[in-house]
């Protein structure tokens, strides 16, 4: 049978076992031993699932307690100095202190910076390097997991992040050239490869996803030099590249002195024949033919039409795999007993994707007749999806077709709007606000579940939510926050909540995907044309505003975030789907204005995430994504102040595009980077108001007044005081109330200090 393998598997567990084990450990309800045991159990279970699907090679080393890039930093000894001072703490405690700024029983530290993993919604901890960085090998975690796999009797394939990709994804804290650090990094990788060979490893997967990016010539040259130095006959090396085509890096990739090459044939299938022509006859070619980034069933018959001639040419040199790690999809569709049966027939989660892989391999080896029944089921599901009336809505299609420039611009420019809004809102210098959500307590989750199960009535649930909103409003007023939020107690997730109220969306019960650490999201599935059925947030915003004389923000998730953080239909362009969502949100924004809400925030944290990996593709994406946002927000009068929020991404390359969104106020994450993200404003004069975050909400540490004031003083080096807001980095949903109250009191006090400083100037 054709050889099948996997690049990586979801690690959180089908019931989020890892999430709950992590949070128990962080809250000191359990200890390291209990957490490590859960990790061992999950690895064993996931290896069994993969092995039983027929994989020849099961990945080992893809499991992480927080993040695989942070694991690589630990593997290479690349630990920032500020985390080295506590010699008594365990390795795991040190690990979590880097990730979160704190670990049980340890002192707090400034956590490692977090940003998006390529164009996905997964966040990684950015390695910090400088000229003093000294690499050293610390391979115990990987070696221990290999020992576990051996004891389980698996055919295993260790997985590591490659040296060039590690450096590219890192940040330097001085003027060091990252590539200059490669010379001392290569010997560490060489020692690791030698150790793996010593214990009998046959194949090693080295991930070098940056070969799918635009690379300077110096980096392309470095690939050949690096892998010549790492070349060995003691084990075989498979270089894995995913998330896009190789393009100008094709020659570099195919000529590397390694034993095999994995490419993403979902996003880069057009290059396969060129790769085959250039690939040495002794090398394996692994084709990622199953989409590891989305949940739609594979068209097995069409895939076989394409694969069969390749298999005839390559024979045993052809390996089959998902396009990338299955980290980005839920674990098992079999858990979804409540999902509509027709829609369910269109889907494949991680376990099902490996089953599809097995069908393809068997068909190539034994002929299509050997899997005829399975191919018929696949064909029928695809035909059902294509013809289903629930997918296509002519009214929505006609509305998108009628979009013109008049729908994409506010009535007046920002300067005129600012004067009108200043008169209406009467806000102080350095106005304070939060991003939107407040802690989702155990009681909120309990009542939400009870309501979903029918154990309490809608009236009882609504009464409970109103009390939560009343408490949140009263707290903000007592602290002295200037622009309030209602706290979003009614929302399970910033995308799922809206998707549940839009036609064209459906939802799973257990379709969890890791976003970072213990943070899991359950992306909605966009299967059809999107339309708003009825107002989604108006009653809660209107109620919250009735409780206070201060401005109350209406809170919405933006069209690109709704797109990016969902599993999106693949039968029409993402642009079309984004504009459908934009029109639905436009209706909601207009209704909020009618309800008397004077500030409306349309969050777009995923705008940068959706940016194509290749610069040549940026203009088209930015054009339609900006249009989708402006479509959502441009129907209101000048008096309405539009806010947006973005977090955990590099904005420098798209700062002008962000300006074109024409939001009156933008709030962004800047505290983990110590305001470094504001470097973008040196060369580009951002025209509107901005709130650079001063409170890292992904860490349990409570920032002091002085720390927040210092950050804002850094911001004042970039922006005038008249256009600066004071706010946290992101929503406060994942934090505890005791942390939040203290932090917000400090934040308001910091704003007061800033106002006093401004009066002295």
The span from the CA of 5 to the CA of 55, in Å, is 5
The span from the CA of 312 to the CA of 301, in Å, is 17
5, 123, 262, 698: which is the annotated catalytic residue? 698
Q: For the range 375-383, what are the long-range contacts, defined as Cβ-Cβ under 8 Å and sequence gap of 24 or more?
A: 375/300, 375/301, 375/304, 378/297, 378/298, 378/299, 378/300, 378/301, 379/300, 379/301, 380/345, 381/297, 381/345, 381/346, 382/297, 382/299, 382/346
For residue range 104-162, list pLDDT tens digits in order: 867 677 888 888 899 998 999 999 999 999 999 999 999 999 999 999 999 999 999 99
pLDDT of residue 228: 97
List the CATH code of the domain at 415-760: 3.20.20.210
pLDDT of residue 265: 98
The span from the CA of 704 to the CA of 204, in Å, is 47
- Class for domain 3-14+52-79+114-387, per CATH? alpha beta
Are 613 and 560 in contact, with CB atoms under 8 Å apart?
A: no
List the one residue out of 241, 231, 75, 222 whose CA is nearest residue 142. 75
Q: Does position 85 have pLDDT exceeding 70, yes or no?
A: no
Q: How many CB atoms lie within 10 A of CB 71?
A: 22
Give alpha helix (H) positions in 367-432. Answer: 372-387, 394-401, 414-425
Look up 228 and say whether it is catalytic.
no
What is the DSSP track for 433-448? B--SB----HHHHHHH
pLDDT level of residue 88 (50, 70, 90 thresholds): low
pLDDT of residue 109: 76
- The length of the chain in residues reads 761
Give alpha helix (H) positions in 595-617. Answer: none
Query: What does the block give as tokens for 215?
Result: 């690379």
pLDDT of residue 493: 84
CATH 3.20.20.210 segments of the chain: 3-14+52-79+114-387, 415-760
The span from the CA of 11 to the CA of 49, in Å, is 12
Cβ neighbours of residue 255 closer than 8 Å, sequence gap 6 or more: 224, 278
pLDDT of residue 760: 79
Q: Does position 349 have pLDDT exceeding 80, yes or no?
A: yes
Average pLDDT over residues 323-330: 98
Lowest mean pLDDT among 19-23, 39-43, 725-729: 725-729
Mean pLDDT of the chain: 93
Q: Does position 671 have pLDDT exceeding 70, yes or no?
A: no
For residue range 463-498, list pLDDT tens digits in order: 999 999 999 999 999 999 999 999 999 998 888 899
List the one residue out of 43, 76, 47, 62 whose CA is nearest residue 240. 62
Query: What does the block give as tokens for 369?
Result: 């007749």
pLDDT of residue 758: 87
**2 or 752: which carries more pLDDT confidence?**
752
Helix, coil or strand: residue 493: coil
List the one residue out of 505, 514, 486, 656 whose CA is nearest residue 580. 505
The span from the CA of 212 to the CA of 288, in Å, is 14
Q: Does position 669 have pLDDT exceeding 70, yes or no?
A: yes
List the Cα angle 500/504/506 in 5-degree steps: 50
pLDDT level of residue 304 (50, 70, 90 thresholds): very high
List the Cα angle 376/378/384 in 5-degree steps: 100
pLDDT of residue 1: 64
List the one residue out of 499, 433, 438 whose CA is nearest residue 664. 433
The span from the CA of 66 to the CA of 257, in Å, is 32
pLDDT of residue 615: 94
């Amino acid at each position: 049978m054709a050889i099948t393998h996997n690049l990586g598997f979801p690690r959180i567990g089908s019931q989020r076992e890892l999430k709950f084990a992590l949070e128990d450990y962080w809250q000191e309800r359990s200890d390291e031993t209990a957490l490590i045991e859960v990790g061992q159990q999950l690895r064993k279970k996931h290896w069994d699932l993969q092995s039983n699907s027929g994989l020849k090679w099961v990945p080992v080393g893809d499991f992480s307690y927080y993040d695989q890039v942070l694991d690589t930093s630990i593997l290479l000894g690349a630990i920032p100095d500020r985390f080295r001072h506590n010699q008594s703490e365990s390795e795991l405690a040190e690990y979590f202190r880097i990730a979160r700024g704190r670990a049980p029983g340890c002192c707090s530290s400034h956590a490692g910076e977090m940003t998006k993993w390529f164009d996905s919604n997964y966040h990684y901890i950015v390695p910090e390097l400088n000229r003093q960085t000294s690499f050293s090998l610390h391979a115990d975690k990987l070696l221990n997991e290999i020992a576990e796999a051996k004891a389980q009797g698996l055919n295993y394939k260790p997985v590591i992040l490659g040296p060039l990709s590690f450096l590219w994804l890192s940040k330097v804290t001085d003027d060091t050239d990252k590539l200059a650090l490669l010379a001392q990094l290569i010997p560490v990788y060489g020692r690791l490869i030698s150790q793996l060979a010593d214990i009998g490893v046959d194949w090693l997967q080295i991930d070098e996803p940056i070969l799918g990016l635009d690379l300077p010539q110096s980096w392309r040259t470095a690939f050949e030099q690096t892998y010549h130095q790492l070349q060995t006959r003691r084990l075989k090396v498979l270089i894995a590249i995913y998330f896009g085509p190789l393009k100008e890096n094709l020659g570099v990739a195919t000529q590397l002195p390694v034993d095999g090459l994995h490419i993403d044939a979902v996003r880069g299938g057009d290059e396969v024949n060129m790769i085959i022509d250039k690939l040495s006859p002794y090398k394996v070619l692994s084709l990622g033919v199953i989409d590891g980034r989305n949940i739609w069933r594979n068209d097995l018959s069409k895939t076989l039409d394409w694969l069969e001639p390749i298999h005839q040419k390559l024979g045993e040199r052809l390996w089959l795999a998902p396009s990338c790690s299955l980290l980005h999809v839920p674990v098992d569709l079999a858990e979804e007993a409540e999902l509509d049966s027709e829609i369910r027939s269109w889907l494949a989660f991680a376990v099902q994707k490996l089953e599809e892989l097995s069908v393809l391999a068997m068909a190539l080896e034994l002929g299509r007749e050997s899997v005829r029944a399975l191919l018929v089921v696949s064909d029928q599901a695809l035909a059902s999806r294509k013809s289903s009336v629930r997918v296509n809505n002519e009214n929505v299609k006609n509305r998108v077709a009628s979009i013109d420039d008049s729908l994409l611009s506010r009535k007046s420019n920002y300067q005129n709007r600012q004067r009108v809004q200043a008169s209406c809102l009467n806000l102080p210098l350095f106005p304070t606000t939060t991003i939107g959500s407040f802690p989702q307590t155990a009681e909120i989750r309990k009542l939400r579940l009870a309501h979903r199960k029918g154990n309490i009535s809608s009236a009882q649930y609504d009464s409970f939510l109103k009390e939560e909103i009343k408490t949140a409003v009263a707290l903000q007023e007592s602290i002295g926050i200037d622009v309030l939020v209602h706290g979003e107690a009614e929302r399970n997730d910033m995308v799922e909540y809206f998707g549940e109220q839009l036609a064209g969306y459906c939802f799973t019960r257990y379709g969890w995907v890791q976003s970072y650490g213990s943070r899991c999201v359950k992306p909605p599935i966009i299967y059809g044309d999107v339309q708003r059925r009825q107002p989604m947030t108006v009653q809660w915003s209107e109620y919250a505003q009735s409780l206070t004389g201060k401005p109350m923000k209406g809170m919405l998730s933006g069209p690109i975030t709704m797109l990016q953080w969902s599993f999106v239909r693949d039968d029409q362009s993402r642009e079309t789907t984004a504009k459908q969502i934009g029109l639905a949100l436009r209706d909601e924004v207009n209704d909020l204005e009618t309800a008397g809400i004077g500030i409306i925030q349309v969050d777009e944290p995923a705008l940068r995430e959706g940016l194509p990996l290749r610069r040549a593709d940026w203009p088209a994406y930015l054009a339609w994504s900006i249009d989708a946002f402006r479509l959502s927000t441009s129907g209101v009068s000048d008096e309405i102040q539009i806010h947006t929020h973005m977090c955990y991404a590099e904005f420098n390359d798209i700062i002008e595009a962000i300006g074109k969104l024409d939001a009156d106020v933008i709030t962004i994450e800047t505290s983990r980077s110590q305001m470094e993200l504001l470097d973008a404003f040196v060369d580009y004069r951002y025209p509107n108001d901005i709130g650079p975050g001063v409170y890292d909400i992904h860490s349990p540490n409570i920032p002091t007044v002085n720390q927040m004031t210092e950050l804002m003083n850094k911001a004042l080096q970039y922006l005038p005081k008249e256009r600066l807001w004071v706010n946290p980095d992101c929503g406060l949903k994942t934090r505890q109330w005791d942390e939040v109250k203290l932090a917000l009191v400090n934040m308001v006090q910091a704003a007061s200090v800033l106002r006093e400083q401004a009066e002295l100037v």
